[in-house]
Amino acid sequence: MASWIDYTVNGIIIGNIYALLAVGLALIFGVSRLINFAHGSVYVVGAYAGFLAVTHMGTPLPVTLVIVVVVGALLGLLIERFGLRPLQGYAHIAPLLATIGISFVLDQLVQLFFSPDPRALPSSLLETRFQVGSGTIGALDLVIAGVGLISAGLLYWFLRFTRLGWAVRATAQDRDAAQQMGVDVDAVHRTVFAIASGLGAVSGLLVGMYYNYFDPAMSFQATLKGVVAQVVGGVGNVPGAIAGSLLLGLVESYGIALFGTSYRNLFAFILLVVVLVLRPNGLFASRRQTPPEPMTGTFIAPSRPINVPPKALLGAAVAAALVPLVFPHPYVMQTLINAWLYALLGLSLTLIAGTVGLVSLGHAALLAIGGYTSALLALTFGVPVGLAILSAGLFTALLGTMLVFPSFRLRGHYLSIATLAIGEIVSLVILNWESVTRGPIGVSGIPSLSLFGLELDTDRSIYWFTLAVMVVLAALQFRLLGSHLGRVLRAVRDDDVAARSYGIGLDRYKALAFSVGSFAAGVSGAITAHIYSYINHETFNAQLSILALTIVILGGMGNVTGAIVGSVLLVGLPEVFRVAAEYRVLIYGLVLLLLVRFRPQGIMGTV
């Protein structure tokens, strides 16, 4: 009994921390309709700001909290002013991608200043515990609960009883109407980002104190937890975000008690998918809430795509095939092998997100399914590698479509979050299904690439094989998009209501596009597994899904040539700057922000 009381207390305390994150995300979404992927980076900055205040300045906890709030608020103001305000009026996907670029920059800056090594945030409160019946509660637990309650009370007072709070609520309800009534919308945005970032920074400090551990890599998971909590409560709903956070904390804590630590995140994302399927507006939102706008379709960045003649494409393919003969250096070939594998991923997502409008944030799961399927078929059942790769692509197309099919009725950010959750669930199932996937140990000794009994054991042979697979699938996708089917898919993307009125079965065509795209991703994952001979649950992580979306936006939504160009640049750009290896991610993030700002339709243009 005592242990269950402890688990309940732990769930409530963790829920309080999640609430600080989720409330900030809900406020930002309410006024700007934006899922802020940089929020987890602010959370990390808050943890390090608190660390510096405690270890170098020796500040007491109240002063430390004030310092962290101020640092977080100032950072939020900078993000809003220089990262997002210039993108007002752009396609909805542009500010979303900008927050990803900002996250890359902030995370890399933290690593450069503090190193990637984890740190401990000392607190004497960790040692103090009080007996409560048959359980115990710590002094730090009470502090976290107090901070959560005080923050909620102050936020309620601000939104309910101040003129600026009224302006925030009015902007959240109808931005255009609020602006016509004289509300300074820019001031509202500044205020919301300052408040949200201050709360997020405090959340990072409290997590560092609670676990006595933090590092720069925890930003992405923090963002995911905040997103889960606010979706469960209702996207943009502040009270719902608080309630969803507490529910998430309890679900995680009880899941750990019943099944162990490795299942903690699995239950969180299962809860998210159930809520999205049964009540997509959230448990505490109105059933009559206005449905979200699509993130692509009529809101896709307008542009005139760059048309590359077929002869030029053929010439580029021939030139690429000659690279091993002209530049036989293994490093060059390995870099381009990775580029062709990324291109397969880009081809997959540009069809799904760019052509049919399903913005997927969980695409790495398809790589994982393909990689594990091919590896296990070849290693356990002795299936020839070529046949195993083909089977993996087909199985990924089938399973991936089945997993995502219930989400096809969702729109906009709800669909994107559902795919993100499904991607995380696949990764966690791989981690915990030890009898099949070998759990955290992973699969090793995977047979190397071979085709019709011929071993592909040289850099040249692997290069030509990956290039040939990429060219064939790209040619097939060109043919598909130029057909009647391609026009139907674009019609679904541009206006699904009009498409339905013409008798187009939306779910059928979405499933078809997703299965074709999943096949390419599954083949990419399978080839990766055989090239490196080892994979585990972290090989294809969630950040790879974000990079896949970056490839598609960089090249141009729905543009096959753009997906290949974006993939080559994504892999080649860090190599151009390899003399400054430690700054590569920082440079990449800055370049991404500049592209979003000045070329949001992508290099090759949207199709």
pLDDT digits over 315-334, tens only? 999 999 998 888 888 888 88
Q: What confidence tier does 576 reach under pLDDT thresholds 50, 70, 90? A: low
Q: How far is it, in rounded angstroms, from Cα 204 to Cα 210? A: 10
- DSSP H helical segments within 361-458, as ranges? 364-380, 385-404, 412-432, 434-437
Rounded to the nearest integer, the mean pLDDT of the chain is 84
Q: pLDDT for 27-62, tens place per residue?
A: 888 888 888 889 999 999 999 999 999 888 888 888
Cβ atoms of 516 and 366 within 8 Å: the answer is no
Helix (H) or strand (E) holding 114: helix 93-114
Using CB atoms within 10 A of its CB, is residue 394 exposed (0-12), middle (13-18) or buried (19+)?
Answer: middle
Residue 400 in this model has a pLDDT that exceeds 50 = yes
- Domain covering 2-124+138-278: architecture: Orthogonal Bundle (1.10)
Domain ranges of the chain: 2-124+138-278, 327-540
- pLDDT value, residue 512: 92
Q: How far is it, in rounded angstroms, from Cα 283 to Cα 234? A: 6
Q: Across the strands, what pairs with 31?
A: none
- pLDDT value, residue 521: 95
% pLDDT > 90, the chain: 25
Nearest to 362 by CA among 348, 383, 374, 376: 348
- pLDDT value, residue 543: 74
Residue 460 in this model has a pLDDT that exceeds 50 = yes
Which range has the worst mean pLDDT, 78-87, 235-244, 293-302, 310-319?
A: 293-302
- Token readout for 409 is 């009725």
Q: Which residue has the higher pLDDT, 365 or 212?
A: 365
Q: How far is it, in rounded angstroms, from Cα 295 to Cα 431? A: 32
Cα–Cα distances (Å) from 473 to 478, 524, 525, 581, in that order, read 9, 11, 14, 33
DSSP 501: H
Cβ atoms of 564 and 555 within 8 Å: the answer is yes
Parallel, antiparallel, or unpaired for β 450-451 and 129-132?
unpaired
Mean pLDDT of 71-98: 85
Which of 25-39, 389-403, 555-569 is predicted most confidently?
389-403
Cβ atoms of 47 and 216 within 8 Å: the answer is no
DSSP letters, 553-588, are HHH-TT-HHHHHHHHHHHHHHHHHTGGGGGGHHHHH
- pLDDT value, residue 580: 56
Residue 581 in this model has a pLDDT that exceeds 60 = no
Residue 302 in this model has a pLDDT that exceeds 70 = no
Residue 297 in this model has a pLDDT that exceeds 60 = no
Cα–Cα distances (Å) from 87 to 80, 91, 292, 357, 462, in that order, read 10, 8, 20, 21, 42
Q: pLDDT for 113-163, tens place per residue?
A: 888 888 887 766 556 666 666 666 777 778 888 888 888 888 889 888 888
Residue 482 in this model has a pLDDT that exceeds 60 = yes
Phi, psi of 214, rounded to the nearest 5 degrees: -160, 155
Q: How far is it, in rounded angstroms, from Cα 299 to Cα 91? A: 5
% pLDDT > 70, the chain: 91
Nearest to 552 by CA among 397, 352, 417: 352
Residue 393 in this model has a pLDDT that exceeds 60 = yes
Residue 259 in this model has a pLDDT that exceeds 50 = yes
Residue 472 in this model has a pLDDT that exceeds 90 = yes
Residue 399 in this model has a pLDDT that exceeds 90 = yes
Using CB atoms within 10 A of its CB, is residue 135 exposed (0-12), middle (13-18) or buried (19+)?
Answer: middle
SS3 content of the chain, % helix, strand, coil (to 5): 75, 5, 20
- pLDDT value, residue 401: 92
Which range has the worst mean pLDDT, 185-189, 383-387, 512-516?
A: 185-189
Q: How far is it, in rounded angstroms, from Cα 14 to Cα 512? A: 41
Mean pLDDT of 469-479: 94
Which range has the worst mean pLDDT, 289-298, 321-330, 332-341, 401-410?
A: 289-298
Q: What confidence tier does 348 reach under pLDDT thresholds 50, 70, 90? A: very high
Mean pLDDT of 301-312: 77
- pLDDT value, residue 125: 56
- pLDDT value, residue 527: 95
